[in-house]
Amino acid sequence: MRSYLENLLLGTTNGTKVLYLFTQEIKLKVSRSTLIAENESHPYYPSILSISDVLKKHGVENLSMELRPEKLINVPVPFITSVKGKSSIMPHFSIVKSIDKAFVTASHPENNKWETLPLEQFMSRYTGTVLIFDTESPRHAEIDYEKNSKIEKKKLIVFTMGWGSVTFLILINYIFAFLRVSFAATLPIIFTSLAILGCVVCTLLAWYELDQDNLTIKQICSSGKKINCNALINSKASKIWGISWSTIGFSYFMMQLLILLLYGIINEQILFIVAWFNILTIPYIPFSLYYQWKVAKQWCVLCVSVQILLGVQFFVTLFAGWLFLKPYMDIQTMFGVSMVTITVFILANMVKTILVKAKENKLKVAQLRRLKHDSDIFEAVLKKQKVVTAPDKNIGISLGNPIAKYGIIKVCNPYCAPCAKAHPVLESLLHQHTNIKLQIIFTATNDDSDLRSLPVKHFLAIAQSKDELLIENALDDWYLATEKNYEAFAIKFPLDSELGKQTENIERMNDWCNSIDVQSTPTFYISLQAQENENQFYQLPDLYTINDLTYFFTEID
């Protein structure tokens, strides 16, 4: 049940779910929320490229290639491959964790559960694209993995407790009703339970209207040849006066549920009212069934479920005789029922409108993101930024390939939180691309009262060793620490007399920063692939972050 809720609430596309499942398979500590954010913010999401780049970001080296089916059994496992989906013409992704000449064990492309099937059957789904991994490459766990995992667990607990409280309230109503009128409460309990089911079904229907890529709901809506919720949801008959039937259905069932719980499920006035409300819905049943059968010639499981619930409610009201009750209808109750009905309908429409606009904005953001990450546009915007001359190569800290085509200058402060967040991103860039050189310049002075001075001198002294692994370890230890403690750092990376030799280096870095008027940290400067002056750098535009650079270097490597 927990897995189902997580998939329904957090999972979106098949690619995101496969990405999360793969990190679990290789025991890479990255939270689900982080993977969703990283994958869905990729300019080419959803694709094999977005999966590849997210895993590379966490140190999992991989290579995408086209392979003939007969070559697949020679690929080292686990690997990710593109396969045909049953309920969509779009390709899905599957993780293969074992393969031989007879059987394949892989994740199902739609429910992501492990299944073992004959090799021939798997090959009939295989589309030819494979993502192969270097299992020996050093991996980078998410820095805030424990924190984000706790947040995810808390959200799930809050959600579960919220629904648990609602369930408890409903059960209390059932118990009190049964204690008051004994078995006479059976039919009101059944009717109320049908209203609850109606709320759930209509919520799923409305959810599917908003997110037709949600595989959990898609499995319900595409479970047969003539079962196709899309055909009904996108048809002209799916709305009346511009309002979708799912919204009307949810409002109807939620109104019933609320007034039954507020006024009591055995209240004769309320039973009389809900019975006549149900009578008003009866013409919709033959209309919907006829449209699905004769016009659309496709069936919507969720739509038919609503018709069944309405029909069963009708028979319950007939059997119970609520239509023929003659209760005293006081004005206060009538006013309360009217307010609940109007409020539920208005709120349901408002929420639906907000969610529709949010989805539209998300699609627009995705389109703008692709435009933003076009290399020609990036280069054009970059060339309009502030131009600086690179500092002397012998100051600061230099990492990466010294003869690389692309250069990055990072101006930072050892106690700057945004600088610390940028550090693992830059380190990942250097590991992913061999054609990048990085020069780190620190905004520190030789003033004894400057807290930045000692850690910067220590970094520079370590850098003189030319041991890139030691330099990276030292920078990792400092920037990835939750608290910046220079005394503890100095004990971990002891030095003799090298600190006193860094005065000139700091002075020259400070002079360069003043000459180009550095306003804040971190500030980044980028050199382009083809330019006449290799010492000419452009300030990274405000529109872009250091995280965006990986897409450009991926394209031009």
Mean pLDDT value across residues 378-395: 89
Bigger pLDDT: 328 or 63?
63
Architecture of domain 157-366: Up-down Bundle (1.20)
Whole-Å CA distances, 350 to 249, 251, 336: 15, 12, 21
Mean pLDDT value across residues 186-199: 90
CATH 3.90.70.10 intervals, the chain: 1-133
| pLDDT at 2 exceeding the cut of 60 | no
As a whole number, the mean pLDDT across the chain is 84
Please tell me the predicted confidence (pLDDT) of residue 112. Answer: 78
The band of 556, judged by pLDDT with boundaries at 50, 70 and 90, is very low
The band of 508, judged by pLDDT with boundaries at 50, 70 and 90, is very high
- Torsion angles phi and psi, residue 240, rounded to 5: -135, 125
Q: Of 93-97, 201-205, 328-332, which range is least confident? A: 328-332
Mean pLDDT value across residues 148-177: 86
Distance, first Cα to last Cα, the chain: 45
The band of 1, judged by pLDDT with boundaries at 50, 70 and 90, is very low
Mean pLDDT value across residues 442-458: 90
Bigger pLDDT: 509 or 533?
509
Please tell me the predicted confidence (pLDDT) of residue 337. Answer: 86
Homologous superfamily, domain 1-133: Cysteine proteinases (3.90.70.10)
The band of 522, judged by pLDDT with boundaries at 50, 70 and 90, is very high
Residue 343: how many CB atoms within 10 A of its CB? 13
Whole-Å CA distances, 226 to 212, 246, 301, 474: 18, 21, 10, 62
Please tell me the predicted confidence (pLDDT) of residue 415. Answer: 92
The band of 339, judged by pLDDT with boundaries at 50, 70 and 90, is very high
Please tell me the predicted confidence (pLDDT) of residue 557. Answer: 45
| pLDDT at 525 exceeding the cut of 90 | yes
Tens digits of residue pLDDT in 88-130: 556 689 999 998 888 999 988 877 788 999 988 888 888 888 9
Structure tokens given for 484? 């910046």
Please tell me the predicted confidence (pLDDT) of residue 477. Answer: 92
Q: For the chain, how big is the Rg over CA atoms in Å?
A: 31
| pLDDT at 218 exceeding the cut of 70 | no
CATH 3.40.30.10 intervals, the chain: 387-551
The band of 264, judged by pLDDT with boundaries at 50, 70 and 90, is confident
Q: Which of 88, 83, 93, 66 is nearest to 125 (CA)?
A: 83
| pLDDT at 507 exceeding the cut of 90 | yes
Residues 528-533: contacts with CB under 8 Å, at least 24 apart: 528/379, 528/382, 528/383, 528/406, 529/405, 529/406, 529/556
Please tell me the predicted confidence (pLDDT) of residue 435. Answer: 83
Please tell me the predicted confidence (pLDDT) of residue 265. Answer: 84
Mean pLDDT value across residues 305-313: 90
Residues of 247-268 as b/e, b for ≥16 C-beta within 10 angstroms? bbbbbbbbbbbbbbbebbbbbe
HSE at residue 478, side-chain half, CA atoms within 13 A, is 25
Mean pLDDT value across residues 502-514: 92
Task: Report the share of the chain in percent with pLDDT over 90.
Answer: 19
For the question of whether the overall pTM of this predicted structure is more than 0.75, the answer is no
CATH 1.20.1440.130 intervals, the chain: 157-366
The band of 514, judged by pLDDT with boundaries at 50, 70 and 90, is very high
Structure tokens given for 411? 């101006």
Please tell me the predicted confidence (pLDDT) of residue 237. Answer: 73
Q: Can you say how many angstroms the Cα of residue 418 is from the centroid of all Cα atoms in its chain?
A: 23
Task: Report the share of the chain in percent with pLDDT over 70.
Answer: 91
The answer to whether 10 and 33 have CB atoms below 8 angstroms apart is yes
Q: DSSP label at 540?
A: P
Could you give the maximum distance between any two Cα atoms of the chain, in Å? 99
Classify residue 372 by burial, with Cβ atoms within 10 Å: 0-12, 13-18, 19+: middle
Tens digits of residue pLDDT in 412-425: 999 998 999 899 88
Classify residue 376 by burial, with Cβ atoms within 10 Å: 0-12, 13-18, 19+: exposed
Q: Of 1-10, 78-87, 193-202, which range is least confident? A: 1-10
The answer to whether 22 and 80 have CB atoms below 8 angstroms apart is yes
| pLDDT at 216 exceeding the cut of 70 | no
Cα–Cα distance, 441 to 462 (Å, whole number): 15
| pLDDT at 7 exceeding the cut of 60 | no
Mean pLDDT value across residues 36-52: 84
- CATH number for the region 387-551 comes to 3.40.30.10
| pLDDT at 169 exceeding the cut of 90 | no
Please tell me the predicted confidence (pLDDT) of residue 246. Answer: 83
Mean pLDDT value across residues 162-182: 86
